[in-house]
Amino acid sequence: MAGSAPPLKRIEQRIGDGLTRHARIRMALALAACTCGGLAALFLFFVLVGTVHLGRATAATAVAAAFALVWFLGFVQRARTGATRVQRHDRERRGF
């Protein structure tokens, strides 16, 4: 085959293309804040359903409150800097 396609890059290489160290750290912090917010929301869901009692699960409540605080601090930081969402600048645009 004369015109065979080039081999596919590994997923780690495709994700890392064009990202600086600062951008990688920023992306990791955004992922951590998002994960903490999701876990805090999941805990709140179980509290609202009645599966978890706040008085009996003090350690879990403290951890969920810490997760909510991390999420809130990330939210405030992004709102303060004007970063509404993390987006790669080399993303392909298709006329949108």
More confident position, 3 or 23: 23
Say what the alpha-carbon torsion angle 19, 20, 26, 30 is, to the nearest 10 degrees. Answer: 10
CB atoms within 10 A of CB 67: 20
Lowest-pLDDT range of 4-13, 16-25, 35-44: 4-13
Q: What is the pLDDT of residue 41?
A: 96
Find all residues with CB under 8 Å of 29, minimum gap 6, and list them.
74
Q: What is the pTM of this model?
A: 0.65
Q: What is the mean pLDDT of the chain?
A: 79
- Distance between CA 92 and CA 95 in Å, rounded? 9
Strands (E), the chain: none
Q: What is the pLDDT of residue 54?
A: 85
Q: What is the pLDDT of residue 66?
A: 96
Q: How confident is the model at residue 65 (pLDDT cuts 50, 70, 90)?
A: very high
